[in-house]
Amino acid sequence: MIDLARQLSVDETPNTLAELIMKLADVSGEIAAKVRLGALSGVLGSAGEQNVQGETQKKLDVIANDMLKEALLSLPQVRAIASEEEDNVVAANHGGAYIVAFDPLDGSSNIDINGQIGTIFTVYPARDEVACDSSDQFAQPGRSQVCAGYMLYGPSTQMALTTGGATRLYTLVPDKGVYQLTETELRIPADCQEFAINMANQRHWAPATQAYISGLQEGSAGHRGKDFNMRWNGAMVGDVHRVLMRGGIFLYPANTQSKVHKGKLRLLYEANPMALLVEKAGGKAVAGAENILDILPDQLHQRVPVILGAENEVGIFQSLSR
């Protein structure tokens, strides 16, 4: 078996980027150990605070954020970081070549029910013409990402990663804290018969989204001429992981509720890294008419609709959005 460090070297990942990825991997091993112990490690429950987006933080949101933040700020190659749990960009080291954004604990509502949760991360080149602590550091389209990935804390801890080439899958050996390569190249079939969406929001969707989902529900009796199944984890990491492993389409579309009229998920540290992983696995990721990776962000915590997965299926949704 090939471990993460060896594979990064085989992939000719620049040393400074490989070190950064190894640091993220090490911290995720420590987070996974806390998650595995659950109530025994005192990490469950609410932290009693709200983040900049008005969401109540769980203890594990704060713990994971602090662990990742401390580890990344210590690296000379990191110029700045952004996190779902930080109001503003945090400056790190002036000479750093990279900026890093992350959702320390995705799927927070699954923490206390022993459900799937994860960490999502992305790395961009630092911008020399911009101050370290400026949000403009991150005003780059998703196509500029040099690396994107997530760790899924499930029955086993796994990391999906692309450094610009294939989307690879690694599995953590818990006792050793080492990730081993377990899938060299994930591929998403172009067609599918499985979708993931929070159906409770149905009445708030745009007419085109309502029509598209109705077509899936009608199945072989409708114009699509085939049956679809539905799965929903409530954690993007879990739902996107399933799409990467066995295909399907995942949707968190725009809806008319005030907070989420542009979608619920955040462009920088949720939509963009997942979109890159999906595209590198042969899939497609759109926000409606446009590809997620082409969007130029105008705010650090900007939200976007996210529709990703099987190329042809996402294409059908996209054609209805035009």
3-state percent helix, strand, coil for the chain, nearest multiple of 5 = 40, 25, 35
Q: Which of 98, 102, 212, 252 binds ligand AHM (CB under 6 A)?
A: 252
**Closest CB to Mg ion among 7 and 116?**
116
Cα(165)–Cα(154) distance, rounded to whole angstroms? 25
Q: How far is the CB of 237 from ligand AHM (least distance, A)?
A: 7
Cα(202)–Cα(253) distance, rounded to whole angstroms? 10
Structural tokens at position 85: 């749990």
Angle at CA 106, nearest 5°, toward 104 and 111? Answer: 105
**Closest CB to ligand AHM among 26 and 55?**
55
Angle at CA 61, nearest 5°, toward 309 and 133? Answer: 85
The listed partner (ligand AHM, Mg ion, none) that binds 252, CB under 5 to 8 Å by sort, is ligand AHM
Q: Which of 61, 85, 86, 103 binds Mg ion (CB under 5 A)?
A: 103
User: Rule CB under 6 A: is residue 263 a binding residue for ligand AHM?
Assistant: no
Rounded to the nearest 5°, which phi and psi values hold at 308? -145, 160
Q: Applying CB under 6 A, what is the total number of residues that bind ligand AHM?
A: 13
Per-position x/- string for 107-146, each x denoting binding to ligand AHM as judged by CB under 6 A, each - no binding: xxx-------------------------------------
The listed partner (ligand AHM, Mg ion, none) that binds 58, CB under 5 to 8 Å by sort, is none
Phi-psi region of 12 (alpha: psi -120 to 50; beta: other; left: phi over 0): left
Beta carbons within 8 Å of 125's beta carbon, 6+ residues apart: 97, 98, 99, 140, 144, 146
The listed partner (ligand AHM, Mg ion, none) that binds 19, CB under 5 to 8 Å by sort, is none
The listed partner (ligand AHM, Mg ion, none) that binds 198, CB under 5 to 8 Å by sort, is ligand AHM
- Answer yes or no: are the C-beta atoms of 87 and 52 closer than 8 Å: yes
- Answer yes or no: are the C-beta atoms of 46 and 109 closer than 8 Å: no
User: Rule CB under 5 A: is residue 194 a binding residue for Mg ion?
Assistant: no
Per-position x/- string for 190-229, each x denoting binding to ligand AHM as judged by CB under 6 A, each - no binding: --------x-------------------------------
The listed partner (Mg ion, ligand AHM, none) that binds 235, CB under 5 to 8 Å by sort, is ligand AHM
- Answer yes or no: are the C-beta atoms of 264 and 252 closer than 8 Å: yes
Q: How far is the CB of 207 from Mg ion (least distance, A)?
A: 28
Structural tokens at position 46: 């609410």
Per-position x/- string for 65-104, each x denoting binding to ligand AHM as judged by CB under 6 A, each - no binding: -------------------x------------------x-
**Closest CB to ligand AHM among 93 and 108?**
108
Q: In what order do the strands lie in the sheet with 157-162?
A: 90-91, 78-83, 98-106, 117-125, 147-153, 157-162, 168-173, 178-183
Residues lying near Mg ion in the complex (CB under 5 A) are found at 103, 106
Residues lying near ligand AHM in the complex (CB under 6 A) are found at 55, 84, 103, 106-109, 198, 234-236, 252, 264
